Amino acid sequence: MNDKKTVFSGIQPSGKITLGNYLGAVKNWVDFQEDCRCIFCVVDEHAITVRQEPAKLRAQTFELLAQLIACGIDPEKYEDTVLYIQSHVPQHAQLSWLLNCYTMFGELSRMTQFKDKSSKYSDNINAGLFTYPVLMAADILLYKTDIVPVGIDQKQHLELARTIAQRFNGVYGDTFTVPEPFIPKAGAKIMSLSEPTKKMSKSDSNENGYILLADTPDVINRKIKRAVTDSEALVCRRDDKPGVNNLMTIYSIAAGKTDEEIVKEFEGRGYGDFKTAVAEALIEMLRPIQEKKDYLLQNKDHLEKIYTESAKKAEWLASRTLEKVYRKVGFVAKGK
């Protein structure tokens, strides 16, 4: 199409979008639209590796699409951006099956997310949970992706996608582009507010641990006030201050300030003032996103038009890769 780099990333519709998802991934996706071809996907097929309530999954998918557009992912403004739903493009599942045959059992057994999730959902350790990273590799490799912007928790999966691509290329000659991760310097791992040594996660049973993009100002104020810090009353970044470090990261991105500026601003002041400032900066950052999301959700036809047109473009690109891969492994081409 053109010589722009291709960016691919995905997000699960398995709950509401958190501040971690936004700062670690989505905020960076927005910037890539300026000079890259961007393919963004709501990965509903990944979401069902954990049991979902059907009506809820459907509603969450719509809400996530609206939220992503409200954050600035905009296929109407950027003609090289697409935003679609994974299950609308069948090539993801098709390539995933094929890549399963080029991925080793041992490699999948070593995935830390599989180990974590299989202990968390011990009553449902299904094969999809195990082969989850292969579907992720298929997502990425279908589009000749150069760059994959993600939070640090996805790094191991990205490395496996690279290994699978290299292995396939080694056997059949140059087929897949080997993707590079893009992990932001600040925000790659936003921590839980209540247990700041753990990742902020939407599946946390304690809702004070995470901020949702949809949280009201009152809720944001309350959660930030309750955020775990320490007893030193000193705003600075240090290894033994995980709670303060996390709030500094959040504040630094939301208010656009450096660590030095933050340390200076709160010199001789307690955590109370600091937390008020963090909450205010967050509320201001999220206000326009929330207003836009509410507006978009009222107009589902418009959302449908966006994801349908995007899926058509994605399917066209994906089908070309899949045909090539089928040919390489020796499948007989369909008759015309």
Catalytic residues: 117, 199, 202
Among 199, 241, 275, 293, the residue binding ligand TYM under the rule CB under 6 A is 199
Site for ligand TYM in 6-45 (CB under 6 A): 8-12, 20-21, 24-25, 43
Of 75 and 151, nearer to ligand TYM (C-beta) is 151
**138 near ligand TYM, judged by CB under 6 A:** no
**196 near ligand TYM, judged by CB under 6 A:** no
Helix, strand or coil for residue 305? Answer: helix
Pairing relation of β-strands 180-182 and 147-149?
parallel
**200 near ligand TYM, judged by CB under 6 A:** yes
**150 near ligand TYM, judged by CB under 6 A:** yes
What ranges in the chain are assigned the alpha helix state H? Answer: 19-21, 27-32, 44-47, 54-71, 91-100, 105-109, 112-120, 127-141, 155-172, 217-226, 242-255, 259-265, 271-297, 300-329
Q: What is the DSSP string of 234-261?
A: -----TT-HHHHHHHHHHHHHHT--HHH
**148 near ligand TYM, judged by CB under 6 A:** yes
**252 near ligand TYM, judged by CB under 6 A:** no
What is the number of other CB atoms lying within 10 angstroms of the CB of residue 203?
Answer: 12
User: H/E element holding 205?
Assistant: none
Among 38, 89, 111, 190, the residue binding ligand TYM under the rule CB under 6 A is 190
Query: In this chain, which residue has its C-beta nearest to ligand TYM?
Result: 24
Q: Using alpha carbons only, give the angle 188, 116, 180 rounded to the nearest 5 degrees.
A: 40
**315 near ligand TYM, judged by CB under 6 A:** no
**212 near ligand TYM, judged by CB under 6 A:** no
Of 46 and 266, nearer to ligand TYM (C-beta) is 46
Handedness of CA 51, 56, 61, 64 (dihedral sign): negative
Of 17 and 303, nearer to ligand TYM (C-beta) is 17
Q: Which residues bind ligand TYM (CB under 6 A)?
A: 8-12, 20-21, 24-25, 43, 46, 136, 139-140, 148, 150-151, 153-154, 187-190, 199-200
